[in-house]
Structure 1
Amino acid sequence: MAGSLSPQGVKNGTLSTSPLLYAVDETPPEWMSVFLGLQMVMLVLAPIAVTPIVVARMAGIDPGEYGWIIFASLLASGIGTLIQVRRFGAVGSGYFLVIGSSGSFIACGLAAAQMGGMALVATMAVLTAPLQLFLAWFLGPMRRIITPLVGGVVIMLIVVSVLGISLDMMANTRSSVPSLHSFWVSATTLAVILGLAIFGNRHLRLWSLVIGLLAGTLVAAGLGLADFSAVAQRPWLGLPDGQWQGFALDFRPEWIGLYLAFAMVTLVGAVETLGDGMAIQRISQRNFRKVDYERVQGAMYADGVANAVAGTLGTLPNTTYSNAIAAVQLTGVASRRVGLYVALFLGLLAFSPKLSALITAIPSPVVGAFLFILLAMLFVTGIQLAASEGLNYESGVIIGVSFWMGYVFQNKLFFADLMPLWLGPFLNNGIAAGGLFAIVLSLLFQMKPAGRARRVFSRQAAAMTDLQDFINEYAAVRRMPVQVLQRLHLTAEELFMHLCGSQTFRGPELKVLLHFADGRVHVEFVDASDLKDLDFVVEEAGEMNDFMDPDLLGLRILNRFASGLRHLRIGGVNYISYHLAADDASYG
């Protein structure tokens, strides 16, 4: 399957070595699209529908409203997935990505539901959705502050905040059912999920959560913990039970802290989507060469719009799931047509009261064990995200301080009696407090003057002298060795001249940033021209022997001395960065 040669593998006279059966723009047979769409729906149905029910149960929401909550979650996921896959203008990635209820919002969603019911949850979802649009719009400058490291810290703190809820549900503390029965149901669910995750092949691992839910529910039914009488009475198709709860418009001061907590998790969701948007591109194209950050931006826009839709319908905010990435790797089918069928099936299932009744009937110990596994996986995701760009002194300080400060505030261990009451929902929320510490520490490290310098130059060849003076001043302060200084002059001047020679520019200025860290000199140019794919052009120039072409000669020099050249185009702005090896530099 995934490792097979594609039937579409001959392109332009060359044989593709991609493991894809069908790339993102290709169309598989209709039966295959339908089958894979149904399979993906089965994989994501449980987290989409069960996650908001966890919040509703723990907050004491009337069970009569569960039908509407499930309906809203499925419909919002279907609409969000359609936007993500189909791409409307700049909104959407255009790739096979699925949007569904976010487990990251369980903690702050529960706090909102306890304060003002699902109406307040909906209000917070709608009010924080623009933050994802904001981060996507300013992805270029914000990418150094709202980083994967910050996102990883917040995700780990989400697990700390919600783990107690999972354990309470496994123990079924709100029921008079014998604890031994709850133990066997929870243990069975955990054992089946973990057994398949450890001993199952790659096909079974994808289905481990679904099979675990089924096994736990069957054991619960045998012990008398499950009541499915209501399922038979519901129609297959129809409108949901319950009703839309509207929005909470009676503002209270304590909502400020709650909003900040929602905002923190929303920004982290955007960081996760950023990673998913990059990952899906790598595995969905034949002969993939580089990430299109305009499409990554589109994925983040789609997330923001989907959150607004979810809030408008009255359920938890959404996020882009990583399940589709695993499914594409497994099946070799990345066609967006499969994603369109997923959106269609989710929308249809929303109008099935029988499905809502079935999900509502799943016993708490089963849901608690399911949530426990999700949290365990989420914690690992947080670790991977935090360490994705490497661990060093700066990242160690940010992770260590932020995580434990979040833990301290979550458990009210830091002068809780001295904190203003209106800030309680924020300061007593480990996710919000720890995330804020992570962002502030990231900002402080970015503001640290040592090793960083930036200057704006007019976009003309005559400014070359100013660039040379800037480099010399920086080198003098950093006590840069002559060899490294020469490389810096060569590469920066050649890139500067190449950008000045571009005929299609929108701005008269170029920004140049220099930074020394980890034994390397980092260089970045920020430019608003309509550049081509510069890192690809440099690679091509490095393989050519035409020394008479001054442009190619300059690019060959850049290719010879610069390492890690990256050209990102985000929101019409180009970020060209590279670094210089400083092995012979012992300056500080």
Structure 2
Amino acid sequence: MAALQTETADAARADTLRFEPDEAPPPALAAALGFQTVALILAGVVLTPLIVLRAAGLGDADSTWVVFSAMAISGLVTVVQAMRVGVLGSGHILFMGTSGAFIAVGIAAVEDGGLALLGTLVVASSLVQFLLAYRLAALRRIITPAVGGTVVMLIAVTVMPIAFGMISRPPPDPSAPAAAGPVTAAATLGAIVLLALFGSARLRLWAPLIGIAIGVAVAAGFGIVATDRLAEAAWIGLPTGDWPGLDLRFGTGFWLLLLPFVLVTVIGAVETYGDAIAVQRVSWRRRRPIDFRVVQGAVYADGLGNLLSGLAGTLPNTTYSTSIAVIDITGVAARRVGVWGGGILFVLAFSPKLAAALLSVPDAVAGAYIVVLLTLLFIHGVKLVAEAGLTYETGLAVGLSFWLGIGFQDQALFHDQLPQWLRAIVDNGMTSGGLCAIVLTTLIGLRSRARGGVTAELGPAAVPKVHAYLQEFSTRLGWDRPAVERLLLAAEEALIYLIDRDAADDSQGARKVRVVARAVDGVAELDIASAPLDGPHIDDAMAQLHDDGAFVPDEASLRLLRHLCRSVEHEQYRSSDHLTLRVASETL
């Protein structure tokens, strides 16, 4: 049944996907789709940093610089994502834009030390993202979707009061009607919601942009849209603001805000991780296994975007999931679209007229937009948690972390009893809840912790060493003889498969293999790690097994693995290959 569903999905994708990443659509089509996607994400790229600056009370000169920097860097890194420069980039259409996850910590940084402190914190935290990309294989059991989802939900909860404040803020013109703000916000929010609920799939993509346009039109009717600077701005030119520089004093504000920035950066990496997986699923006509080298490239490029954003003094960027929806609807996954779109976004950064138009958006409209953005962000967090699988343990970790985060955010937990330095950290619900989620996830991992491990040179001599290790492991579990034999045979066949691949690839000389076993609810989970090996993904190799009854010697190991294991997963990273085998104590 599963194979039939996969074949049906592959056939449907083959019918609707017009261009794969490596194919070249006509330049006019690629440019048009790139411009369409830029139009879809432009509000998010620009309004998100403007909301931070308005909440922190900064002026228009700073705003023009931040808008310019956000657009130029987002465009540049979008091109890098599509083209893949060295280890940087995914090689897929992944548009980059300002990250809404940094709104709360961004406001705190700007209020404390201006754009210079913001830039320093972003630069420092971006280095963590490069480390995450490099060590992605080792950290995959700690930085989980459940942790990321919990923090994303808390980000939405902590920032929502800021959006409500923007909606209820009186218009700058004291002569404007009292109802101007509420009516404008209601028109914006209502238009977005109605289009999202009743519009077609294609129209829903445009819902935020249409809602903002309707909100601005209503605000113009009340006379609360400032158009003076729009008329004076040139069509082409440089921003009027100056580079804010970096705050290298590393004062108390830097150290208090560094941990929250690092946590949000980790969550941004988790979001990029998910988008890089999702874009692979919609970009090929035939189902392909997920290539985690592509995921690493996407996270590396995200780190580059954050580093450049910090040096420029603006909010960090992240991948926009809109890219995946556009591919799904248009059927064009060619990376040329990303190159065109990134180039268009970069060029638009040099239009003061566009920046002035976006700066004239009233607070009520921006606040209503951010309410929708945060709602979608919260839903994205829920989806991340659901993808992890809501077991009893995961549910406890997510629920406890979420409510403790809200408790500390509202200063309802031990606020007066905590020392000042600790209060400054945990009063941010995203920080306290995120730390709780990481600690609880680590404890859950310790519950099924790995039992030792064995390292050997990848070759026939590795088999008896692994057997001895697994014999001891299964004895502690109390498995019967047939279960132990299944476990040993599965490990042996996996090693034979790796040894055969190693023999066909002598580019790196002798390789090491490490086998680590852990017990999870009556199932032995073996993680078999080695240096990167050339050759097909094991999912592809298993999919190509002959089903005509003929015996093919080269397929023996794969056939036995498929028979002995509940599941076989293969994750290919730039620094290592990981085979994960799950062998049950009882036969199905």
Shorter-chain TM-score range:
over 0.9
* SS state at 2:89 partner: coil
Decide whether the 8 Å contact of 2:171 with 2:180 is kept in 1. Answer: no
Instruction: Report whether the alignment pairs 1:576 with 2:551.
Output: no
Tell whether the 8 Å contact from 1:192 to 1:212 is kept in structure 2 after alignment.
Answer: yes
Which range is displaced more, 403-412 or 418-427?
Answer: 418-427
TM-fit CA distance, 1:209: 0.1
The residue type equivalent to 2:301 in the other structure is A
Greater shift after overlay, 392-401 or 170-179? 170-179
In the alignment, residue 403 of structure 2 is paired with which amino acid?
W
Q: In the TM superposition, what whole-angstrom CA distance separates every residue of 1:343-366 from its partner, at most 9, and x where no partner exists? A: 111111111111111111111010
Question: Which residue does the alignment assign to 1:205?
Answer: 204
* Deviation, structure 1 residue 16: 8.7
- In structure 1, how many angstroms separate the alpha carbons of the residues matched to 2:280 and 2:446? 33
**2:132 matched to which residue of 1?**
135
Alpha-carbon distance, 1:72 to partner: 0.9
- The answer to whether residue 497 in structure 2 is matched with residue 523 in structure 1 is no
Check whether the contact 2:117–2:254 (CA below 8 A) recurs between aligned residues: no
Partner of 1:388: 387
CA distance in 2, matches of 1:233, 1:182: 26
Describe the shift of the 1:558–1:355 C-alpha distance in structure 2 as closer, same or farther (beyond 3 A): same
Match of 1:217 in 2: 216
Q: Partner letter of residue 498 of structure 1?
A: Y
TM-aligned CA distance change 1:319 to 1:548, over 3 Å: closer
Opposite residue 536 of structure 1, the aligned amino acid is D
Q: In structure 1, the residue corresponding to 2:142 is in which secondary structure?
A: coil
Distance 2:287 2:551 in 1: 30
Letter aligned with residue 69 of structure 1: V
What whole-Å deviation, never above 9, does each CA across 1:243-267 have from its counterpart, x for those lacking one?
A: 1111112221232120110000001
* Structure 1 residues 18 and 522: CA distance shift in structure 2, 3 A: farther
Which residue pairs with 1:511 in the alignment? 514
Structure 2 distance, partners of 1:240, 1:15, is 47
117-126 or 130-139: which moved more? 117-126
2-structure distance, mates of 1:462, 1:330 = 52
SS in 1 for 2:583: strand
Amino acid at match of 2:160: L
1:154-303 aligned at under 5 Å gives the runs 154-172=151-169, 175=172, 176=174, 178-303=177-302
Describe the SS at the equivalent of 2:16.
coil
User: Which stretch of structure 1 is more off in the superposition, 209-218 or 437-446?
Assistant: 437-446
CA deviation after TM superposition for structure 1 residue 507, in Å: 5.2
Partner of 2:7: none
- For 1:510 and 1:289, the matched residues in 2 are separated by 26
Paired position in structure 2 for 1:114: 111
Which residue does 2:541 correspond to in 1? 537
Cα deviation, 1:73-107, whole Å, max 9, x if unaligned, reads 11111111111111111111111110110000000
CA shift, 1:497, in A, is: 3.0
Extract structure 1 runs of 4+ deviating beyond 6 A: none
For 2:569, the equivalent position in structure 1 comes to 566
- Please list every run of 5 or more consecutive structure 1 residues that lacks an aligned counterpart in the other structure: 1-13
Tell me by how many angstroms 1:42 deviates. Answer: 0.6
In 2 relative to 1, CA 462–244 (structure 1 residues): closer, same or farther, beyond 3 Å? closer
Contact 1:72 1:310 in 2 (8 A): yes
1:149 and 2:149 equivalent? no
Residues 254 and 425 in structure 1, CA contact (< 8 A), matched pair in contact too = no
Q: Contact 1:172/1:179 (CA < 8 Å) preserved in 2?
A: no
Conserved 8 A contact 1:255-1:425 = no
The alignment status of 1:552 with 2:549, answered yes or no, reads no
Matched residue SS, 2:388: coil
AA paired with 2:267? V
Question: Displacement, 1:182?
Answer: 1.3
Answer yes or no: is the 8 Å Cα contact 1:256–1:422 preserved in 2: no
State the alpha-carbon separation in 2 of the partners of residues 425 and 240 from structure 1: 35
Q: Residues 343, 432 of structure 1: CA spacing in aligned structure 2 closer, same or farther, 3 A cutoff?
A: same
The 1-side partners of 2:410 and 2:586 are apart by: 46
Let me know the Cα RMSD of the aligned residues: 2.1
- 8 Å Cα contact 1:189-1:370 kept in structure 2: yes
DSSP-derived class of the 1:402 partner = helix
What is the TM-score when the length of structure 1 is the normalising length? 0.93
Q: Distance in 1 between matches of 2:79 and 2:13?
A: 29
CA contact (8 A) 1:80 1:305 kept: yes
| Residue 136 of structure 1: how far off its partner (Å) | 0.5
Residue identity opposite 2:112 in structure 1: M
Residue 3 of structure 1: aligned partner: none
Partner of 1:7: none
Q: For 1:461-480, what per-residue CA distance to the aligned partner results, in whole angstroms no more than 9, with x for missing partners?
A: 23433322322222222122
Deviation of the 1:318 alpha carbon = 0.5
Provide structure 2 residue ranges, at least 5 long, that are not aligned to the other structure: 1-10
Change (3 A) 1:469 1:346: same
Is contact 2:448-2:519 (8 Å) kept? no
Contact 2:532 2:574 in 1 (8 A): no
Separation in structure 2 between the aligned mates of residue 225 and residue 199 of structure 1, nearest angstrom: 30
Letter in 2 for 1:155: V
Where 1:524 maps in the other structure, the secondary structure is: strand
Residue among 88, 98, 118 paired with 1:101: 98
Deviations 1:556-583 (A, max 9, x none): 2112222321111112301001212445
Question: Are the counterparts in 2 of residues 238 and 351 from structure 1 also a CA contact under 8 Å?
Answer: yes
Q: CA deviation at 1:584?
A: 5.5
Instruction: Tell me what 2:123 maps to.
Output: 126
Cα deviation for residue 523 of structure 1 reads: 2.0
Question: Would the aligned equivalents of 2:456 and 2:465 in 1 still touch at CA under 8 Å?
Answer: yes
Q: Match of 1:522, SS?
A: strand
How far off is 1:446 after superposition? Answer: 2.0
Listed one character per residue, the Cα deviations across residues 29-54 of structure 1 (whole Å, up to 9, x for unaligned) are 22211211111111010000000000
Identify the residue that residue 498 of structure 1 maps to in structure 2.
Answer: 497
> How do 1:464-475 residues align onto structure 2 when only pairs under 5 Å count?
464-475=463-474
Q: Greater CA deviation, 104-113 or 403-412?
A: 403-412
User: Residue 401 and residue 173 in structure 1: after superposition, are their counterparts in 2 closer, same or farther (change >3 A)?
Assistant: farther
Distance 1:15 1:517 in 2: 37
User: Per the alignment, in what secondary structure is the counterpart of residue 575 of structure 1?
Assistant: strand
**Residue identity matched to 2:192:** I
Are positions 1:79 and 2:76 aligned together? Answer: yes
